[in-house]
Structure 1
């Protein structure tokens, strides 16, 4: 099925082809199941990335010369230029440090900047690995529920103030996910400014996960948290990678732009073998994505934009959602359907569609599921058809 006047790349795919994949998304699905759960796209590797990795394979695979990242390493300038070009945000290339993924970067920052028992503020529903990192390190996840308002999901700064008041001086960090996973909200500048004011008032370190920043749909715009002013930039760690926009989760390469000098120094003092190192091939892949991958990304974004519109138009009766402003994830409210606390089980067993359990995102996810629409339009259509049929039989 094609949406639009002309057929584009990534419009059609046989679901049986996807079922042959051995990555987590499809390997966990099982025979005959359609996988719409974990946050991987189904699209092929961008050609510029494949070509860059093949060139490196024909070259030097010995120890890299950039183990000292004090000047930003091999991706500092690439990251800084991309932030200027796409978001009009000027950041210091020399403040960049590399990690294998967002979770490892979060862990490392919390290790050097906080102590056991310190509170980390985060909005819920929250992506399960983030809560796991915080709790496994002996820090307290201080949750701020996202409210549903008349125009969508709302990030209430007053709720954040109340959460800080409950924990007192133990609250040290705001962990912000923007664009937000799983709701798909893209925070406006005024919302971010309200959070920034609170961070300044309470002397909070801000760790801003902006991994979905390249996947924002018009008229919405991504505003980097560190772009709100010099004072905010000096207390913000910006995390990103190519794992979402370029489907590189398995490549294992993420960037942390570390504004606070004390955090940067503490991490540099602990580099070497403690936090591991990203590989030469991972660096080449992400560099190619950020320097030459935008034409591919533009095509994929057009497909995703059509998919998100189709999704909200074709959802079965009784399922509610707000059209995502960013990401390729839809947060589906199934509470009116009487499918129990975890509707994922119903859709897995009766529709043969594997969605992400809402309960995995915390108590606010009861009665919800998360659907990944980063797939071929015909696969999305079959996913929605199966959900319709299963609910009609019921």
Structure 2
């Protein structure tokens, strides 16, 4: 089947957060939300469920749990059982539940900075100390694991809030890197809470490795958080899941709902099962298109905005742009919004002080929109010369 991701989809007047925040003369390339129609198998599954016409409280059916089990085995060679799965309304509630369940006020949690705001902010919600592990790129554009930094910060941390693939840099952790991280955590009895929501969107024939899949022993100290939401563009259906193989940890995690984390959207459950069961062909085509967008973006930035540093993202549909050398009179996000009429995520969202001259750009859009946005950004900078 052929999927055409160049077909524009009008999202105005649909309740889209992405397209309603700014005026209509602004191209929104900010929040991590793609502009593509979902896989037809998802639409068909939702249509069939709509025909039932009763939409009460939902519970995950055994078929969904078994499909998640099958997907983990097929994609990541990770053996889990249906009982390991805890359904959630989102990954963000999941890692906040984990921090609340397993840490106490005053404890420390390590995070990889820069990192997207929900992870950056989460420790403060529970009176935890945040320990930053700063990601620094090599000259070749890779993001190496600096053992000394990880060892020092994890030595003093009760938990690691891991983001893999990483948002906003697009780094994919290799098996060898994850084994090093897991070894350090094992040495210091550090809990691993792993946000792996972008796990399906990796490029250049790389493979995502869930850190919990490294061994049964490592799995016992892991809370793994995943969803079909980013990969299949169904984030608005508010469905995710945790995989927790330790029964005691799973029960403790469930107890931290505290009346705040409710049941899951019935349509999200249906869409997730359809995506994992029958959406592989669509996902493969999407990844090819997104990798093309990524390459188009990198080439244009390097040729036409060489002052901007962009390391090719290995995953996600997000690019992390260092605009420090532009020497703008205002922060880059404000410049591109007010002058170029392109909305990007402000670097300050990913660290309080160190990333004000960065922006995050969402290339999960049609090539036409991406090209228009880059035209505007490039013209806005050239006009300053």
Q: Into which bin does the TM-score normalised by the smaller protein fall? A: over 0.9
Q: 1:290 to 1:284 in 2, by over 3 A?
A: same
- Within 1, Cα distance between the matches of 2:228 and 2:23? 27
Aligned length: 378
Q: Is the partner of 1:259 in helix, strand or coil?
A: coil
Report the equivalent of 1:275: 261
5 Å-filtered alignment, 1:21-40, equals 21-40=14-33
Report what 1:373 is aligned to: 363
1:11 aligns with 2:6: yes
Larger mean Cα displacement after TM superposition, 320-329 or 110-119: 110-119
Q: Quick check: 1:137 aligned with 2:126? A: yes
SS at match of 2:106: coil
Instruction: Report the more deviating stretch, 54-63 or 44-53.
Output: 54-63
Aligned to 2:191: 205
* Residue ranges of structure 1 left out of the alignment (5+ in a row): 1-6
Deviation of residue 48 (structure 1)?
1.3
* CA shift for structure 1 position 54: 1.7
SS of match in other structure, 1:41: coil
What per-residue deviation string (whole Å, max 9, x for no partner) do you get for residues 144-200 of structure 1?
1001212322232310222235xx3xx211111111100011111111111011010
Is the aligned partner of 1:228 residue 2:228? no
Counterpart contact for 2:42–2:271, Cα < 8 Å: yes
Q: CA deviation at 1:272?
A: 8.4
Change (3 A) 1:73 1:20: same
Offset at residue 45 of structure 1 (A) = 2.4
Match of 2:202 in 1: 216
Q: 1:279: how far off? A: 2.2
- 2:135 alignment partner in structure 1: 146
How far residue 339 of structure 1 moved from its aligned partner, in angstroms, is 2.1
Q: 1:341 to 1:128 in 2, by over 3 A?
A: farther
The answer as to 2:47 corresponding to 1:58 is no
Superposed CA deviations along residues 32-80 of structure 1, whole A, max 9, x for unmatched, are: 100110000000122211211121122263545747xxxx966322211
SS of corresponding position for 2:203: coil
| Partners of 2:45 and 2:250 in 1: CA distance | 30
Match for residue 383 of structure 2?
393
In the alignment, the residues of structure 2 paired with residue 74 and residue 269 of structure 1 have an alpha-carbon distance, to the nearest angstrom, of 25
1:361 aligns with 2:361: no
Mapped to 1, the partners of 2:308 and 2:7 lie a distance apart of 26
- Render the CA deviation track for 1:349-384: whole Å, top value 9, x for unaligned: 111000000111003323110000000011111111
Q: 1:272 & 1:64 partners in 2: Cα distance?
A: 18
- 8 Å Cα contact 1:12/1:378 also seen in 2: no
CA distance in 1, matches of 2:36, 2:219: 35
Distance 1:236 1:340, change over 3 A: farther
* Distance in 2 (alpha carbons) for counterparts of 1:274 and 1:390: 45
Q: Cα RMSD between the aligned structures? A: 2.0
1:8, distance to aligned residue in structure 2 (A): 5.8
1:256 aligns with 2:245: no
Structure 2: segments with no counterpart, 5+ residues: none
Residues in 2 aligned to 1:282 and 1:8: alpha-carbon distance in whole angstroms: 22
Q: What is the TM-score normalised by the length of structure 2?
A: 0.93
Determine whether 1:46 maps to 2:32. Answer: no
CA offset at residue 114 of structure 1?
1.1
Paired residues of 2:154 and 2:190 also in contact (CA < 8 A) = no
Match of 2:98 in 1: 109
